[in-house]
Amino acid sequence: MNAKRIIPDFFTCSNLLCGAVATLMATQEAYVWAFGLILLGAFFDFFDGMTARALGIGNKMGVELDSLADDITFGLAPAMVLSCYLRPLIGWWSLIVLIMAAFSALRLGKFNLDERQTSSFIGLATPANAIFWASLCCMPYQMMTAAWMPWVLVALSFLSCYLLLAEIPFFSLKFHNFSWRDNWDKFIFLIGVVVLVLVCILKAIHYDHLEFALFAGAAVVLWYVALNILLALSKK
């Protein structure tokens, strides 16, 4: 076996292991750890494809393995995080949000077959959805002051299932060049990201709560979704 072929698979399997451990952390109510592991999985997911392209060793097995790893890290893990987070609040009703894992699998299957998604996405990418939920579930229970708030999260989970499969274009953050004309939407997004991250960090310092800094993940994904929906509406 060519040793170079092992490198992308190493990153893919590392992604899968991050998702498996994040799922375990969810069952232990270690939501900050779960969030960190999902972020680490996203890091590995970025590098498996990049190294495969750089080394010129793409293969069908790598594509299939990547989808399996992604469904664990960005499908099952965030669904388990949300379900475990909601269980103390709404009991066994929390199991209904596990449907997000199934919709994530459908999203990944659609991505593999849809030839329109070579340079952008149709529907919300699973890593973005996973980061949103893992970040949001770092919220202390003390902030859930109203009985209806957990049900808002359930409703939002159904909305995210819709967004995963929706025929809404989402831009990719891959840059082919750095000209403003070709990438103005990405630059606007990144400017917003810097602002949101700084605000969340300042809030964390002011209130002396790490969780406010972790909310940056959810805030960035919300900004990404809102910007893409606005761009889609402007083109109609």
Using one digit for the tens of pLDDT, what is the confidence trace for 142-181? 777 778 899 999 999 999 999 999 989 998 887 777 788 8
At 3 the pLDDT is: 58
- Give the torsion through C-alpha atoms of 126, 131, 132, 136, to 10 deg: 150
Rounded CA gap, 219 and 51, in Å?
Answer: 30
pLDDT of residue 228: 93
More confident residue, 234 or 97: 97
Q: pLDDT at position 52, please?
A: 65
Q: Do 89 and 150 meet the contact criterion of CB atoms below 8 Å apart?
A: yes
Confidence label for 62 from pLDDT (cuts 50, 70 and 90): low
Min mean pLDDT across 63-67, 92-96, 130-134, 193-197 is at: 63-67
Q: In this predicted structure, which of 65-74, 96-105, 177-186 has the lowest mean pLDDT?
A: 177-186
CB 53 within 8 A of CB 63: no
For the chain, how long is the longest CA-to-CA vector?
A: 58
